[in-house]
Amino acid sequence: MSTPQTIDTPPAPVSKGRLIAGYVLSCLPALMLLVGGAMNILKTEVAVDGAKKIGYADDVLLPLGIVTVASVVLLLIPRTAIVGALLVTGFLGGAVGVHVRQQDPLINVLVPVIFASVIWIGLVLRSPKLNSLMPWGEGL
């Protein structure tokens, strides 16, 4: 039986396999968000049409794209990953709200929830400190 983890006890190191799995899980949705952010910054036809469809003017695309890209970059940097994940989660929560307000199909509501969940699962896998805060503690 192992001793309980305390705040002062350094967490056990993460295995290479877990680290790779964590980065893969976090990076796949992050890359999709980067592409979406870049499309907003460049004001592509798809981005402009999508903004109009949900009731946004095209002048919000640039700031929205910058915030998206900046949040994802923070997510991908190990020292700022938790802040980035929080910002991306807030962004994706806004997407859920927009889809609910638009009365879109359930899959449109679930995709941002799935993206955020996968990002956080990846982050928990690669961060021993974050993993130790989870209800299962060091057990995962």
- pTM of the shown model: 0.82
pLDDT (tens digit per residue) in 28-76: 999 999 999 999 999 999 999 999 988 899 899 999 999 999 999 999 9
pLDDT above 70 covers a percentage of the chain that reads 88
pLDDT (tens digit per residue) in 76-100: 998 999 999 999 999 999 999 999 9
Q: Cα dihedral angle (116, 121, 125, 130), rounded to 10 degrees?
A: 70
Q: Are 42 and 34 in contact (CB under 8 A)?
A: no
Round to whole Å and give the CA distance between 124 and 140.
9
